[in-house]
Amino acid sequence: MTDQREKPISSRRAFLSASAAVAATPVLGVRAAQAAGHGLHRQAPDRQLRALLREIDPNRIGAIVTRLAAFGTRHTLSAQDDPARGIGAARDWIFEQLSTYAAASGGRLTVELQSFIQPVSSRIPVPTRVTNVVATLRGDTDPDRVYVVTAHYDSRASDVLDATSDAPGADDDASGVAAIMELARVMATRHTEATVVFAAVAAEEQGLYGSDHLAQQFRDAGADVQAMFSNDIVGTGDAHDGTAADPRTVRLFVEGVPTAETTAEANVRRSVGGENDGPSRQLGRFVHDVAENPQTGMKVRVVWRRDRYLRGSDHISFLLRGYPAARFTEPRENFAHEHQNVRVENGVQYGDLVEFCDFAYIARVARVNAAALWSLAQAPGTPTGVVIDTTRLTNETTLRWQRGTSADLAGYEVVWRETTAPDWTNVLAVGDVTAVTIDLSKDNVFFGVRAVDRDGHRSPVAAPRPAS
């Protein structure tokens, strides 16, 4: 290919060096910037990721979903000490399974039971012990940078306080638990640069209490959680309602205006826009970039809202604390199969049964998660301190940021798009610098900055905030 847009990086670097010689901050002429910038390419899975994706096993996922459903109910208020039935038995089984994965990790994967007493509150009539099962794969070179993936292992029947009726919760959310457990298994034998946390949380159905505790623990520890995903209802691409199945699509819900936006941030947004450039939106673009490909076999249908109407999930606990977060869920739900007692009524089967799950589908969703988490954990962290200079009125754009600390950091790329475009359309490699001036007006496009490592892994994009 001799496409003008495929200019090798070296020629752009040469131009930047020449510019840098005459100015403290490299200045890119508008014609040069437009020529060197080009349409973005998808980030293809690296060799290790391709091998990892092939290891994700639908049969193992099927066995996990089936086992979890066989605990009868996993209601948060159900028995905690019965070895066969109830949430306690499910908790201990998940812990044991994750511990066997940890045994193959050379000490990098550790598993803990994270318990607390939830006091009387909405949907919690008596003080109740809630336990998250948390597996942490410690990063080799950047262990303080954390990515979190969750699913909830509690289930419910029609009455949200009914702790005794059967509540198999196969799709909601044994499917998500199976996906993250299989992810933990295949990632445990590999080395990641950053830390990845796989958490089966409880009390989601009662009010997100488990994930609320998990997110607060990270907040209290000052943890650098750079992305979080909830996998909730990822059991099938077939709604079993007479509509055509859509087995190659997963939805990803990502909010626009941040849930935790401050008043000052809101004022900036009203002034110059940015409704579509919050950190979760950038995460959504990143997942679409790295996870929609032939190796996952999936289309990532990004939905620009925090969650579905009348519904929420554990990502909200992280959004409330300012962490970028998103929720995976199947393309079309059958509400007769969620939050319903198992029964047949007028010839219709109600209940969240294993027979409505598609284990190959869940495996593909797990591959989408794997592509996202692997790409995040192997790339440099999202750039920090990114600002757009507003010291004076000018038709140029000066961007500044702090240099990251990743051991294999190679440099940075500036991306931009028309303000009306949904995703980045142009990219410009600017080298290992912390400031650049581009002869394009910041009034007319949206800019972002991402980091690149020596292997070509790109970080999520950080949108600049104005600073003078």
Residues at the contact surface with Zn ion, assessed by CB under 5 A = 172-173, 232
Nearer to Zn ion, 172 or 255 (CB): 172
Pairwise CA distance, residues 429 & 58, whole Å: 40
**Number of neighbouring beta carbons within 10 Å of residue 67:** 16
* CB 260, min distance to Zn ion, A: 22
* CB 314, min distance to Zn ion, A: 8
Nearer to Zn ion, 75 or 400 (CB): 75
Residue with tokens 């590999």: 190
CA angle, 403 then 407 then 413, to 5°: 45
Nearer to Zn ion, 232 or 277 (CB): 232
* CB 172, min distance to Zn ion, A: 4
Nearer to Zn ion, 172 or 246 (CB): 172
* CB 231, min distance to Zn ion, A: 9
Amino acid (1-letter code) at residue 234: V
Q: In sequence order, which residues have a C-beta less than 8 Å from that of residue 70 and are 6 or more positions away?
A: none
Nearer to Zn ion, 172 or 289 (CB): 172
Nearer to Zn ion, 231 or 406 (CB): 231
Nearer to Zn ion, 172 or 389 (CB): 172
* CB 326, min distance to Zn ion, A: 15
Question: Angle of helix 359-378 relative to helix 279-291, nearest 10 degrees?
Answer: 110
* CB 232, min distance to Zn ion, A: 4
Beta carbons of 303 and 254 less than 8 angstroms apart: yes
Nearer to Zn ion, 27 or 239 (CB): 239
Strand pairing class (348-350; 387-389): unpaired
Both tokens of 56, joined, read 């994700």
> 443-458 b/e with 16+ CB inside 10 Å = b?
eebbbbbbbbbeeebb
Pairwise CA distance, residues 312 & 208, whole Å: 9
For 31, phi then psi, to 5°, come to: -65, -40
The answer to whether the bond into 358 is cis (omega within 30° of 0) is no
Question: Angle of helix 47-55 relative to helix 359-378, nearest 10 degrees?
Answer: 150
* CB 173, min distance to Zn ion, A: 4
Strand pairing class (348-350; 194-201): unpaired
Beta carbons of 419 and 446 less than 8 angstroms apart: yes
Nearer to Zn ion, 130 or 451 (CB): 130
* CB 205, min distance to Zn ion, A: 7
* CB 211, min distance to Zn ion, A: 11
Nearer to Zn ion, 167 or 370 (CB): 167
Nearer to Zn ion, 232 or 413 (CB): 232
Cα dihedral across residues 288, 292, 296, 298: positive or negative: positive
Nearer to Zn ion, 233 or 370 (CB): 233
* CB 335, min distance to Zn ion, A: 12
* CB 327, min distance to Zn ion, A: 10
* CB 12, min distance to Zn ion, A: 47
DSSP 320-376: TTT--EEEEE-SS--GGGSS--SEEETTEEES--GGG--HHHHHHHHHHHHHHHHHH
Which candidate, 177, 202, 176, 171, places its Cα nearest to that of 352?
Answer: 171
Both tokens of 370, joined, read 């794997």
Which candidate, 217, 180, 211, 177, places its Cα nearest to that of 74?
Answer: 177
Partner residues linked to 465 by β-bridges: 387
Cα dihedral across residues 17, 446, 292, 338: positive or negative: positive
